[in-house]
Amino acid sequence: MKRMIEMLGVLVASVVCASAGTVSTVSSHATPELVSEINTALANPVMNSLELTNALNATTLTMMGGETNGSTIKLGADNGDDAGDRASIGIDTSDNIVFSTDADSKGTYATKMTLGKTGILTLKGGATVDNTTSAAEVKITEDTVDVVGSLQDDDVQVVVGNHTTTRLALDVGACTNGQVVSFASWFTAAPKVFVEYNVAETTATTAYAASVTTNGFTAVGQATKGLNWFAIGTR
């Protein structure tokens, strides 16, 4: 057994345990005489530090659950004596990474967020965030999505509906009178386009979109006024 420990090579693993004012250290760098020395030190320590160091190669900490079992790391703060002080990160038997806390009930862990093995994020209430289909598209699946703030970029495209047969998209931006506006390649048919002045306008000049196609439109309005536009249509 001693020879097996010596063959572990240059891996240095130190465990510092603090209890009743005493500190003890076990290190494979010093080649412990018996495996039991390490097992005893790790059995139920009150640790303030756990360090794994390898001077030559990258260091990996591996936790592997047995057949039909997951693996979990539990974290705690503030002595863990109140609801919400504890959290856990684990992998379940379906290969999902699960984030849990005991915020709802002290000592009882409840799932707050799950990261599926394909990269789809599922939130506590069931909404999903999916960026796995296209790097240029994020799908949020939920009955209602509230955006706090505003979409201010001139090149914003958002899928706002997902019916079994029809998908809707919107495009927004700013323009001026006579400008030919180009859409991104989101619409499969000419969308509905709404145009308004970006400041209060009291003249009889109406702002609107002319020559609307799947590719864009021509803005019409008072020459000296800036315009905002909004388009919605099938995707």
Summarize pLDDT for 53-87 with one digit per residue, the tens. Answer: 888 888 888 889 999 999 999 999 999 999 999 99
* CA distances from residue 206 to 29, 67, 149, 172, 220 in whole angstroms, order as listed: 81, 70, 29, 19, 8
Q: Is the pLDDT of residue 191 over 90?
A: yes
Same domain, 46 and 75: no
Residue range of the domain that includes 40:
2-53
Same domain, 89 and 49: no
Q: What pLDDT was estimated at residue 149?
A: 64
Burial of 160 (0-12, 13-18, 19+ CB in 10 A): exposed
- Is 121 inside a domain boundary? yes
Of 67-81, 101-115, 144-158, 161-175, the poorest mean pLDDT is in 144-158
- Residue 6, classed as helix, strand or coil, is helix
Q: What pLDDT was estimated at residue 178?
A: 93
Q: Is the pLDDT of residue 220 over 80?
A: yes
Same domain, 166 and 229: yes
**Based on the structure, what is the number of domains in the chain?**
3
Q: CATH number for the domain including 218?
A: 2.60.40.2080
Of 144 and 115, more confident: 115
- Is 59 inside a domain boundary? no
**What pLDDT, in 10s, does the model give residues 39-49?**
555 555 566 77
Q: What pLDDT was estimated at residue 175?
A: 92
- Enter the tokens of residue 20: 């009743």
14, 17, 18, 23: CA torsion to nearest 10: -60
H or E segment to which residue 219 belongs? strand 216-220
Q: Is the full-model pTM beyond 0.75?
A: no
* CA distances from residue 31 to 3, 9, 38, 56, 155 in whole angstroms, order as listed: 10, 9, 10, 18, 62
Q: Is the pLDDT of residue 51 over 90?
A: no
Same domain, 32 and 89: no
* Residues contacting residue 37 through CB under 8 Å, at least 6 positions apart: 26
* 99 band by pLDDT with thresholds 50, 70 and 90: very high
Of 196 and 198, more confident: 196
Q: Is the pLDDT of residue 137 over 80?
A: no
Q: What pLDDT was estimated at residue 56?
A: 85
- Enter the tokens of residue 87: 């959290």
Q: What pLDDT was estimated at residue 44?
A: 56
- Is 108 inside a domain boundary? yes
- The DSSP secondary structure of 173-218, one letter per residue, reads EEEETT-EEE--TT-SSPPEEEEEESS---SSPPPEEES--SSEEE
- Residue 29, classed as helix, strand or coil, is helix
Same domain, 75 and 34: no
Identify which of 202, 208, 204 has the alpha carbon closest to the alpha carbon of residue 177.
208
Same domain, 176 and 230: yes
- Is 99 inside a domain boundary? yes
Of 4-18, 28-42, 109-123, the poorest mean pLDDT is in 4-18
- Enter the tokens of residue 123: 């939130």
